[in-house]
Amino acid sequence: MSFEDFKVFYVLSLLGLGSIILAPTLALTVRLPSGERFSELWILGSGHMAEDYPFNVRLNETCKIYLGIGNHMNGLQYYRVLVKFRNGTESSPDALNATPSTLDPLVEYRLFLSNDDVWEKEILFSVQDFVFEGNSCRVSRITINGDIVNLSPIKIATWNEESKGFYFQLFFELWLHKAEFVYHNRFVGIWLNMTKSV
């Protein structure tokens, strides 16, 4: 081996050894791009699966679903979930424009989640007061996890001839705290058909 080859080998060895020694320090200071940051929001049916969702609802019948949130935002997040109820003509969230429903919430949940943590809550609800008047159904009171909510204004659905029912939607909007709570453009919901007891 010539002296020039030895010098090149010596310099490359020093650079390699220096990289190995500095690697832990560089790992603490250099941030590589991370994957996509997102939040999950879901509803599961009564059997804790993506099936068996309540649909035909009778007066005072208790229905069960599971609401879940997953944090994949690469850090601690402060979430708010707004529970809302609407008929088919009222405001719903708009995913294209990232705007929430203009309806007032019935119930609100607030929680902190660390990165990759999951929160899940059993939601028990029942429609406490609805009446059929001719071609419409009026809902005035709902219970959600023991909290009785008087609907104001009263929700009215007209008979849907095509789908043969009186349809209302129970839905959940996800909000994220930055300097204040902002709509996180995530929502899930289930449609409910009010039916007479047999």
pLDDT along the chain (198 residues), means of 10: 65 61 59 76 96 96 98 97 97 95 97 98 96 95 97 95 95 97 97 83
Cα separation, 45 vs 8, whole angstroms: 67
Do 60 and 124 have their domain in common?
Answer: yes
Strands annotated E in the chain: 38-44, 56-57, 63-72, 77-87, 107-113, 118-133, 136-144, 147-158, 167-177, 181-194
Do 136 and 62 have their domain in common?
Answer: yes
Specify the DSSP class assigned to residue 115. Answer: T
Domain extent for 61: 38-194
Confidence (pTM): 0.81
pLDDT at site 147: 95
Do 120 and 158 have their domain in common?
Answer: yes
pLDDT at site 35: 75
Do 8 and 61 have their domain in common?
Answer: no
Domain count, the chain: 2
Do 99 and 128 have their domain in common?
Answer: yes
Do 144 and 62 have their domain in common?
Answer: yes
Which CATH number characterizes residue 162's domain? 2.60.40.10
Do 91 and 151 have their domain in common?
Answer: yes
pLDDT at site 32: 47
Do 13 and 93 have their domain in common?
Answer: no
Instruction: Say which amino acid occupies 78.
Output: Y
Do 76 and 159 have their domain in common?
Answer: yes
pLDDT at site 30: 54
Residue 188: closest CA among 166, 174, 171: 171
pLDDT at site 26: 52
Do 74 and 124 have their domain in common?
Answer: yes
pLDDT at site 25: 59
Do 15 and 67 have their domain in common?
Answer: no
Do 72 and 104 have their domain in common?
Answer: yes
pLDDT at site 142: 97
